[in-house]
Amino acid sequence: MVGLNRLPSHIDLRKIMVLHKILSLPAELVSRNIFIRKLVLYINDMTHVTSGFIPDICHILLKYNLHSIINNFLAPECYVPSKYVWKSVVKRSIISRETQLWDYRTSVDTDFVFFRILHPCITTCIIYKVCNRTSLRNTMFVISRLWSRPVTHENRTCINCGKIYQEELVHVICECPSTSELRSQCLDTISDILLPEHKQSLLLQDSVSQTLKLLGAPIKPILDCETEVTFLRTAFPFIVQCLRQYVM
Ligand SMILES: [Zn+2]
């Protein structure tokens, strides 16, 4: 939710930075040369070095497609980039792999159908920005759970109004007469926050898009950061009130 990569990737980054420190040591230093000798032994025959830092770091470099680092170092011209360049190259590779894993994980699980629209990349989650350090902390947990709920596409009948709907959350928030009073109250408040054209744009959207926008999806109308946060600080409590009023 705070937009960080997984913890193992941070540990891997630290280990790769330790490797940079070792390779940057003065060429005459015995400990550096022992390390290089063991590294070459491992590359030539993995059975010579079976545990410790060298197999671990080689596995990590392979994982992030960074084995060229070692190849460049062992080449006749022996190239070790500066710490800044090294770190930025490594970070880019880690972010690329983490993003691939994120995409895969959220595309294979149907629980993430909503989530992929609402939170399309690894960044600080809008719910966290809106609710953190405010009185909306409990609201944050409710909205977070709504983001990762499975989406249904079967026709169901509303137990409150008798109408047929496909997605219960969309019906509760934007369609059901049992929450219409809350909806008009929310619209009144939103009128003070949004520009008339943005409010008009929101009202012209279908129920699904309106629901996603109220949950924090980065879709039209696109608002500036401050207005978006103020808008969602109105929308989130409205959603929670709708859920309370509607027996799901
Ligand atoms: Zn209904």
pLDDT in tens, 94-105: 999 999 998 998
Instruction: Report the run of H or E that residue 164 belongs to, with start and end.
Output: strand 164-165
Q: pLDDT for 21-56, tens place per residue?
A: 999 999 889 999 999 999 999 988 888 778 899 999
Span from the CA of 225 to the centroid of ligand 1 (angstroms):
33
- Dihedral sign, Cα of residue 197, residue 225, residue 144, residue 182: negative
Q: Is pLDDT at 2 greater than 70 in this prediction?
A: no
Residue 227 identity: T
Predicted local distance difference test score (pLDDT) of residue 165: 92
Confidence of residue 112 (pLDDT cuts 50, 70, 90): confident
* Number of Cβ within a 10 Å radius of residue 114: 20
Distance CA 47, CA 223 (A): 59
Span from the CA of 246 to the centroid of ligand 1 (angstroms):
8
Span from the CA of 169 to the centroid of ligand 1 (angstroms):
10
Q: pLDDT for 183-230, tens place per residue?
A: 999 999 998 999 999 999 999 999 999 999 999 999 989 899 999 999
Span from the CA of 117 to the centroid of ligand 1 (angstroms):
25
Q: pLDDT for 139-154, tens place per residue?
A: 999 999 998 888 877 8
pTM listed for this prediction:
0.76
Predicted local distance difference test score (pLDDT) of residue 181: 93
With CA atoms as reference, report the closest residue to 238 among 162, 159, 133, 146. Answer: 146
Distance CA 157, CA 2 (A): 38
Span from the CA of 174 to the centroid of ligand 1 (angstroms):
10
Q: Is pLDDT at 86 greater than 90 in this prediction?
A: yes
Span from the CA of 43 to the centroid of ligand 1 (angstroms):
66
Span from the CA of 16 to the centroid of ligand 1 (angstroms):
56
Span from the CA of 1 to the centroid of ligand 1 (angstroms):
32
Predicted local distance difference test score (pLDDT) of residue 247: 66
Q: Is pLDDT at 180 greater than 70 in this prediction?
A: yes
Predicted local distance difference test score (pLDDT) of residue 188: 92
Mean pLDDT of the region 69-83: 84
Span from the CA of 176 to the centroid of ligand 1 (angstroms):
4
Span from the CA of 207 to the centroid of ligand 1 (angstroms):
13
CA 51 to chain centre: 34
Span from the CA of 143 to the centroid of ligand 1 (angstroms):
20
Span from the CA of 128 to the centroid of ligand 1 (angstroms):
30
Residues near ligand 1 ion, CB 5 Å cutoff: 158, 160-161, 176
Predicted local distance difference test score (pLDDT) of residue 248: 53
Q: pLDDT for 114-142, tens place per residue?
A: 888 888 888 888 999 899 888 898 999 99
Mean pLDDT of the region 74-103: 90
